[in-house]
């Protein structure tokens, strides 16, 4: 699946002050955050909140629509190429609620006729009739948070489902959707190589169109950070990663991003837009946005607590933080996304998406190449296998310009 053609902006002369000037605006995606989940997992650092009482679906939808309307002037005239419901657990909402949100979006923004519309779902929230309703509402891609098929690991990860429910969820999803992603995690507490291999082989046996395989990392502000579990060592984790890559490659899955594997034609269009430094409007509690204009690129974050977010929307002030990306940060921000892609990016994309010439990061590119972390020619730049494995070291190079300011 391709990326939508960028909307053309008016041709502009170069800035006399070295500020970025975009000749074309990138594709635009819409992210919708549903902050509630059944249970907070011990590794999760996302903006998610346990539903300990009745979820205010109606009020939250009203807030989402008001939030969207307040943001329209920033994206007026631009088409939405993908929509992503993230969380939390969006499948905790009723299908009629998701239908109402999508109808409100379509009434206010032009959505591409064949836009990818993804909904995150967790086993334990699956009912066949409900998921038929999601499909009827226009959701055409489902991302299921399996994480593991091993009962012991599911228990350690605090998941609300067991192995049977994981398998049942996939079977229900496949009755209604032709495009499914399975999320898995590896390097789990107490996990051995054979268990990681069993998880990936089980996932492949269902023939999903997309598989995401994430290395478990301990994030701040999580239960695991306060109570660290015993994780596999680096060598064991590397072996697990290698087995996962080999198993997926042998089954026809292309490794196209650090943690993402897809059958041909089923790369996530929404995530590809992130990784190619495209734009996205985020609505909902804690949602982030990146919005380009011909003169600048801004980032925003909505208020995180659902109640506060809804009250702030009523006041017409849903945005907690907003800042323009400084020109000396653009190189790092661009590379932080695009160098996650196994195939890298065309050189011309740097200027197209940042408004800066590629020579503005020439010194950093020279060093990355000297250290064997990238390969490049006049048309293309990509991380080497070493660069993929030591991505943080590669990205650190592009922070130097900022540090020198």
How far apart, in whole angstroms, are the C-alpha atoms of residue 199 and residue 118? 24
pTM of the model as a whole:
0.91
Digit-coded pLDDT (tens) for 57-100: 999 999 999 999 999 999 999 999 999 999 999 999 999 999 99
Q: What is residue 19's predicted lDDT score, i.e. its pLDDT?
A: 64
pLDDT at 394: 97
H helices of 206-305, where? 223-226, 234-250, 269-275
- Given a cut of 90, is residue 3 above it in pLDDT? no
Return the percentage of the chain with pLDDT > 90, whole number.
83
Report residue 44's pLDDT band, with 50, 70 and 90 as the boundaries. Answer: confident
The DSSP 8-state label assigned to residue 341 in this structure reads B
Domains of the chain: 8-274 (3.30.750.200), 347-405 (no CATH)
Q: How far apart are CA 182 and CA 44, in angstroms?
A: 17
DSSP 127-140: -HHHHHHHHHHT--
What are the pLDDT digits (tens) for 343-379?
Answer: 999 999 999 999 999 999 999 999 999 999 999 999 9
Query: Alpha carbon of 76 to those of 102, 240, 279: distances in Å?
Result: 18, 46, 13
Mean pLDDT score of the chain: 91
- pLDDT tens for 156-171 read 998 888 899 999 999 9
| Confidence class for position 400, pLDDT limits 50, 70, 90 | low
CA distances from 207 to 269, 275, 321, 355, 396 (A): 19, 25, 42, 41, 37
pLDDT for residue 117 is more than 50: yes
The pLDDT assigned to 127 comes to 84
Mean pLDDT of 285-307: 96
Q: What is the pLDDT of residue 404?
A: 42
Per-residue pLDDT tens digits for 214-225: 999 989 988 888
User: What is the predicted pLDDT for the residue at 170?
Assistant: 96
When pLDDT is averaged across residues 318-336 and rounded to a whole number, the result is 96
| pLDDT tens digits, 261-283 | 999 999 999 999 999 999 999 99
Per cent of the chain over pLDDT 70 is 94
Tell me the three state secondary structure of residue 158: coil
Say yes or no to pLDDT of 403 above 60. no
- Grouping H, G, I as helix, E, B as strand and the rest as coil, residue 71 is helix
Q: What is the pLDDT of residue 124?
A: 81
CA dihedral 257, 157, 60, 71 (to 10 degrees): -20
Question: What's the confidence (pLDDT) of residue 285?
Answer: 97
Q: What phi, psi does 186 have (nearest 5°)? A: -135, 175
Q: Quick one: angle between helices 57-75 and 306-314, nearest 10?
A: 60
Residue 14 confidence (pLDDT) above 50 = no
Q: What is the pLDDT of residue 40?
A: 85
Secondary structure tally for the chain: helices H, strands E: 16, 19
Vertex 277: Cα angle to 337 and 255 (nearest 5): 50
199 phi/psi in degrees, rounded to 5: -60, -50
pLDDT at 131: 93
């Amino acid at each position: 699946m391709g990326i939508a053609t960028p909307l053309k902006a008016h041709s502009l002369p170069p800035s006399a002050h070295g500020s970025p000037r975009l000749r074309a605006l990138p594709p635009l995606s819409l992210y919708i955050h549903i902050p509630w989940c059944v249970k907070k997992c011990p590794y999760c650092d996302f903006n998610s909140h346990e539903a300990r009482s009745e979820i205010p679906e109606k009020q939250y939808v009203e807030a989402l629509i008001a939030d969207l309307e307040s943001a329209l002037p920033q994206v007026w005239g631009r088409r939405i190429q993908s929509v992503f419901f993230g969380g939390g657990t969006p499948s905790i909402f009723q299908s009629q609620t998701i239908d109402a949100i999508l109808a409100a979006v379509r009434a206010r923004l032009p959505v591409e006729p064949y836009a990818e519309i993804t909904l995150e779902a967790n086993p334990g929230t699956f009912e066949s009739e409900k998921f038929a309703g999601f499909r009827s509402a226009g959701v055409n891609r489902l991302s299921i948070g399996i994480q593991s098929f091993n009962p012991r690991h599911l228990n350690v990860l605090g998941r609300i489902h067991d192995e049977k429910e994981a398998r049942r969820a996939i079977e229900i999803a496949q009755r209604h959707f032709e495009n499914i992603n399975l999320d898995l995690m590896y390097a789990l507490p107490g996990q051995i190589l054979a268990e990681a291999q069993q998880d990936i082989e089980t996932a492949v046996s269902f023939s999903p169109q997309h598989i995401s395989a994430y290395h478990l990392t301990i994030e701040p502000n999580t239960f695991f950070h306060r109570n660290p579990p015993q994780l596999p060592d680096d060598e064991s984790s590397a072996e697990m990663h290698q087995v996962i890559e080999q198993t997926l490659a042998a089954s026809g899955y292309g490794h196209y991003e650090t943690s993402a594997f897809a059958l041909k034609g089923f790369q996530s269009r929404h995530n590809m837009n992130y990784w190619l430094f495209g734009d996205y409007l985020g609505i909902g509690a804690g949602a982030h946005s990146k919005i380009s204009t011909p003169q600048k690129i801004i980032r925003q974050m909505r208020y995180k607590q659902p109640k506060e977010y809804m009250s702030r929307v009523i006041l017409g002030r849903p945005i907690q933080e907003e800042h323009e990306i400084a020109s000396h940060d653009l190189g790092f921000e661009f590379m932080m996304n695009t160098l996650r892609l196994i195939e890298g990016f065309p050189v011309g994309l740097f200027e197209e998406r940042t408004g800066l010439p590629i020579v503005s990061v020439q010194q950093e590119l020279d060093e990355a190449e000297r250290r064997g972390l990238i390969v490049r020619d006049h048309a293309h730049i990509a991380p080497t296998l070493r660069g993929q494995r030591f991505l943080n070291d590669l990205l650190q190079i592009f922070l130097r310009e900022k540090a020198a300011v």
